[in-house]
Amino acid sequence: MQKANPSLSLDDRVARNAAIPTGEVDHELMALDPKAGEVYGLDAIGTEIWKSIEGETRIGDIVDRMLDEFDVDRATCEADTLSFLDELLAANMILKVDA
């Protein structure tokens, strides 16, 4: 799941794609894309990011939650979170919500 050009910003809002079934196994999220026949596994940090997406969520708010939870500097957290969410968007696991 990689995307070359980031398409999301901290001001964008995202939501989980309700068509993608998910479940937790050993504190890590597993997701199935039935259309593509793909199964995705998220590590513990990816799972925390996923859990922070409640309804329509502003990406900057997700970053703030990760900064509260993990010992990481803001620039790294922003870059890593945006990159990860771009991957989820490319995999159709999340949707970008129009303002």
Distance CA 95, CA 99 (A): 12
Q: What backbone phi and psi angles, to 5 degrees, belong to 44?
A: -60, -40
The pLDDT of residue 98: 83
Q: What backbone phi and psi angles, to 5 degrees, belong to 36?
A: -90, -15
If one counts every other C-beta atom within 10 angstroms of the C-beta of residue 79, the result is 12
The pLDDT of residue 91: 86
Distance CA 23, CA 70 (A): 23
Position 13: which residue type? R
pTM: 0.85
Domains present along the chain, CATH in parentheses: 13-93 (3.90.930)
Q: 32 in helix, strand or coil? A: strand
Distance CA 32, CA 23 (A): 9
What are the pLDDT tens digits along the chain (99 aa)?
444 445 899 999 999 999 888 888 888 889 887 777 888 899 989 999 999 998 999 999 999 999 999 999 999 999 999 999 999 998 889 999 986
Distance CA 97, CA 36 (A): 22
